[in-house]
């Protein structure tokens, strides 16, 4: 699942510090020569890179293009017991996990290997069980003893230790001054994923609320507390009060609305009742100006903290602490966290085997140390070279499209092209790896390893303040099957693990590659011009660089796309939120449009060959549909509707209904379910 990252969001995913030398792909360059369509090497998938056996040709493409391209696969594919969904992303993630295991199995035999010691410490389940809760007891004792006067200091310690509490924060680029780092705070304090889980009615939410209440009770019991049912109810009621003051997901996703710079003194005045100075200084932030993402939520939360009984606050922190470290504590704690956050919320019936969790633990905390071995073994130079070509072709296609736009003013086009020409593209892996030499890892101290890794990551993040912008850093490891756009850095990033079939195969038909990874590239590029990314100029600065006429035309197209996705009922009574998913839907629409242009240009004016009875255009759109093959458990799909800015896979595939070439390729006719009149097809880039 691709994602976009602005400077204000970088730290929320506990992103590591990585680097890849910028690949200066300017849009003004002529499109590079595409990888050869004809090759003696056989693609990994099918005859030309697409799995024909997964199609369901009894379905008309114009009625359901997802089912036509993927229907047989969807009927036959089983979701593994340890997953909430299964598809092309998860299949590659499984492959990445197995490959990483091979690397770590070798490393664990070397006492001088940091990643080997980390991996071994997680695999040693008997040692974890023998220690019980002893490793975390000193912290729990502090929590049980805290009073209101000491709360700010305790929360700063929790922050550094990686324990979520009533608000969060990170150091990232200042959106309006991207050459400077600043500390950004955001709302927190709830244990369910979004305020809507507390505030919206409905049978599904009612069941989740009951399951969460039981989870709170169970965790308190595991912590050794008495009267757990009543105390759990008090925590729940407190969190529901917090949910009422939270901003909703649409406002929280608006780059303009969440940019609120203030001094600590101004925050204290706006949100009295909490010692902000003590907290902010306690986490190591010595700057005076900070960004507060949701000011009114902080006002409300400060009052709630001031008014709440200290016992309720302590109990909430006890639960957050055990949940936060559940993976490195005895199985009873891990199973309890899994039962709510994976089973109740997402429908996953079975926890991953311990070796899988050990791999994830190691890569989550020392990803680049593992990544060096991973790319050396699994990412050949020719893949990177072929990706360079694709990226340059897609950038050139967008540059051409910007020049032909009828709705954008001439002066704005010049600025848009300048922004495109300033893009940095990072492919595969960093050239400069993260230094973990200050992180202590012991082979017999799993809890301590996690705690120290959290503290290391926190200190590294806060250590950015006052220093130069780390343009060499990455936000993902090479083993991640994903990609992202970073607005403040004006960059797009593609880790090694996603650059594999079905997304990309150097030996596959060019049409399938452009429909797969080409559209992903276009998606990430276009994020810099979506409803939020378009607010950032060529330097990565949050600025008004569009004319009112540009904004009006862009918003009109966006409203049409919102209406299109608002109409999709994913589950009975549960529709998509077209506003919440707008940025990702624009990314899909623009990405597919740009990739199609790049594919056609790569043919050099020649007609694509017909392969297995399919034209080049048909294969292009099948390449797009194939990467979105995914089956969901119902609970997971429902949760995504509320919390995921990406539309589900079926609806992502359907974005093709807005492209004229799709209609011509498959002879889509009026009366078919996905048919849109030409005037109703959304065209943005």
Q: Which domains does the chain have, with CATH numbers?
A: 3-35+61-82+382-431+472-680 (3.40.390.10), 131-350 (1.10.1380.10)
Strands 3-5 and 289-292: unpaired
Burial 86-98 (b: 16+ CB within 10 A, else e): bbbbbbbbeebbe
Lowest-pLDDT choice from 3-7, 58-62, 115-119, 605-609: 3-7
Asked if pLDDT for residue 31 goes beyond 60, the answer is no
Which pLDDT score is estimated for 20? 23
For 58-175, list the strands marked E by DSSP: 85-87, 167-174
Return the bridge partners of 569, or none.
575
Q: How many other CB atoms sit within 10 Å of the CB of residue 356?
A: 16
Within 309-349, residue ranges assigned H as helices are 310-324, 331-338, 345-346
- Which residue, 269, 268, 464, is CA-closest to 277? 268
Asked if pLDDT for residue 523 goes beyond 80, the answer is yes
Q: Are 501 and 46 in contact (CB under 8 A)?
A: no
Asked if pLDDT for residue 15 goes beyond 50, the answer is no
The torsion of the CA quartet 19, 22, 27, 33, rounded to 10 degrees, works out to -100
DSSP 164: -
**Confidence class for position 41, pLDDT limits 50, 70, 90:** confident
Tokens of 448: 């301590």
How far apart CA 14 and CA 367 sit, in angstroms, is: 11
Q: Are 444 and 430 in contact (CB under 8 A)?
A: no
Asked if pLDDT for residue 190 goes beyond 90, the answer is yes
Coil, helix or strand at residue 230? helix
* For residues 67-95, average pLDDT: 98
Asked if pLDDT for residue 38 goes beyond 70, the answer is no
Which pLDDT score is estimated for 40? 58
- The secondary structure of the chain in percent helix, strand, coil, rounded to multiples of 5, reads 55, 10, 35
* For residues 84-106, average pLDDT: 98
How far apart CA 68 and CA 564 sit, in angstroms, is: 21
Name the burial class of residue 615, with classes exposed (0-12), middle (13-18) and buried (19+) by CB atoms within 10 angstroms of its CB: middle
- Which residue, 366, 8, 365, 341, is CA-closest to 168? 8
Asked if pLDDT for residue 138 goes beyond 70, the answer is yes
Sign of the Cα torsion 560, 561, 562, 564 reads positive
**Confidence class for position 562, pLDDT limits 50, 70, 90:** very high
Q: Are 2 and 251 in contact (CB under 8 A)?
A: no
Q: Are 283 and 171 in contact (CB under 8 A)?
A: no
* For residues 461-478, average pLDDT: 96
Q: Are 641 and 533 in contact (CB under 8 A)?
A: no
DSSP 428: E
Coil, helix or strand at residue 142? helix
* For residues 332-348, average pLDDT: 98
How far apart CA 213 and CA 216 sit, in angstroms, is: 5
* For residues 276-298, average pLDDT: 97
Q: Dump pLDDT digits (tens) for 657-671.
A: 999 999 999 999 999
Residues contacting residue 9 through CB under 8 Å, at least 6 positions apart: 172
Which phi and psi angles does 485 have, rounded to 5°? Answer: -115, 135
For 221-311, list the strands marked E by DSSP: 261-263, 289-292
Coil, helix or strand at residue 274? coil
* For residues 422-430, average pLDDT: 94
DSSP 178: E
- Percentage of residues in the chain with pLDDT exceeding 90? 92
* For residues 592-604, average pLDDT: 96
Angle at 377 between CA 373 and CA 381, to 5 degrees: 110
Q: Dump pLDDT digits (tens) for 433-447.
A: 999 999 999 999 999
Tokens of 22: 């910028």
Which pLDDT score is estimated for 668? 98
How far apart CA 94 and CA 357 sit, in angstroms, is: 12
Q: What is the mean pLDDT of the chain?
A: 93
Angle at 403 between CA 400 and CA 408, to 5 degrees: 135
Angle between helices 582-602 and 548-566 (to 10 degrees): 100
DSSP 540: S
Q: Dump pLDDT digits (tens) for 100-122.
A: 999 999 999 899 999 999 999 99
- pTM for the full model? 0.91
How far apart CA 496 and CA 384 sit, in angstroms, is: 9
Which pLDDT score is estimated for 531? 87
Which pLDDT score is estimated for 342? 98
Return the bridge partners of 181, or none.
173
How far apart CA 67 and CA 598 sit, in angstroms, is: 26
* For residues 285-300, average pLDDT: 97
Which pLDDT score is estimated for 330? 98
Residue with tokens 């493409």: 61
Within 379-518, residue ranges assigned H as helices are 381-404, 410-421, 446-462, 510-513
């Amino acid at each position: 699942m691709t994602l976009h990252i602005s400077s204000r969001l970088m730290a929320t995913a506990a992103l590591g510090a990585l680097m890849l030398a910028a690949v200066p792909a300017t849009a003004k360059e002529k499109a590079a020569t595409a990888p050869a369509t004809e090759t003696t090497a056989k693609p990994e998938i099918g005859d030309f890179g697409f799995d024909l056996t997964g199609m369901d040709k009894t379905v008309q493409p114009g009625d359901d293009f997802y089912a036509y391209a993927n229907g047989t696969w969807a009927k036959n594919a089983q979701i593994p017991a340890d997953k909430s969904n299964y598809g092309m992303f998860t299949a590659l993630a499984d492959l990445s996990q197995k490959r990483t295991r091979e690397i770590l199995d070798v490393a664990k035999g070397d006492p001088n290997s940091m990643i080997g010691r980390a991996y071994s410490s997680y695999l040693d389940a008997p040692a974890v069980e023998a220690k019980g809760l002893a490793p975390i007891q000193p912290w729990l004792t502090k929590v049980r003893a805290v009073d209101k006067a000491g709360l700010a200091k305790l929360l700063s310690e929790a922050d550094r230790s990686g324990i979520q509490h009533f608000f969060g924060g990170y150091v990232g680029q200042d959106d309006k001054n991207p050459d400077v780092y600043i500390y950004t705070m955001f709302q927190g304090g709830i244990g369910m994923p979004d305020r809507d889980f507390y505030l919206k009615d409905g049978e599904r939410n009612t069941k989740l609320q009951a399951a969460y209440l039981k989870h709170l009770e169970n965790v308190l019991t595991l912590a050794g507390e008495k009267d757990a049912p009543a105390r759990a109810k008090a925590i729940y009621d407190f969190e529901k009060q917090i949910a009422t003051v939270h901003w909703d997901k649409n406002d929280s996703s608006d780059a303009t609305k969440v940019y609120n710079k203030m001094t600590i003194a101004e925050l204290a005045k706006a949100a009295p009742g909490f010692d902000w100075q003590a907290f902010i200084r306690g986490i190591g932030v010595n700057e005076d100006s900070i960004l507060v993402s949701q000011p009114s939520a902080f006002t409300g939360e400060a009052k709630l903290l001031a008014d709440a009984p200290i016992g309720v606050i302590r109990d909430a922190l006890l639960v957050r602490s055990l949940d936060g470290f559940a993976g490195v504590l005895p199985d009873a704690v891990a199973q309890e966290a899994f039962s709510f956050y994976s089973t109740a919320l997402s429908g996953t019936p079975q926890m991953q085997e311990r070796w899988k969790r050990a791999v994830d633990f190691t890569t989550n905390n020392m990803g680049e140390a593992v990544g060096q071995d991973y790319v050396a073994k699994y990412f050949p130079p020719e893949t990177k070279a072929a990706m360079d070509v694709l990226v340059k072709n897609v950038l050139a296609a967008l540059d051409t499209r910007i020049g032909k736009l009828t709705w954008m003013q001439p002066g704005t086009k010049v600025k848009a092209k300048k922004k495109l020409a300033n893009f940095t593209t990072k492919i595969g892996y960093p050239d400069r790896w993260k230094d973990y030499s200050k992180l202590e890892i012991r082979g017999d101290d799993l809890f301590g390893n996690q705690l120290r890794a959290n503290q290391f990551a926190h200190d590294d993040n806060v250590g950015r303040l006052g220093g130069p912008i780390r343009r060499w850093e990455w936000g993902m490891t090479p083993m991640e099957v994903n990609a992202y756009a970073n607005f403040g850095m004006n960059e797009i990033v593609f880790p090694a693990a996603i650059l594999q079939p079905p997304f990309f195969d150097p030996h596959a038909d060019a049409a399938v590659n452009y429909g797969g990874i080409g559209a992903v590239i276009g998606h990430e590029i276009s994020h810099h011009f979506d409803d939020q990314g378009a607010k950032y100029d060529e330097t990565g600065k949050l600025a008004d660089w569009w004319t009112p006429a540009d904004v009006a035309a862009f918003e009109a197209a966006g409203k049409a796309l919102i209406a299109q996705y608002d109409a999709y009922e994913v589950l009975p009574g549960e529709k998509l939120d077209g506003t919440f998913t707008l940025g990702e839907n624009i990314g899909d629409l623009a990405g597919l449009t740009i990739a199609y242009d790049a594919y056609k240009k790569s043919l050099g004016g020649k007609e694509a060959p017909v392969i297995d009875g399919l034209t080049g255009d048909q294969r292009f759109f099948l390449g797009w549909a194939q990467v979105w093959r995914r089956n969901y458990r119902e609970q997971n799909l429902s949760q995504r509707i509320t919390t995921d800015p990406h539309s589900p896979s079926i609806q992502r595939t359907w974005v093709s209904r807005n492209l004229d070439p799709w209609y011509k390729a498959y002879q889509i006719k009026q009366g078919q379910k996905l048919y849109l009149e030409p005037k109703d097809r959304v065209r943005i880039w």
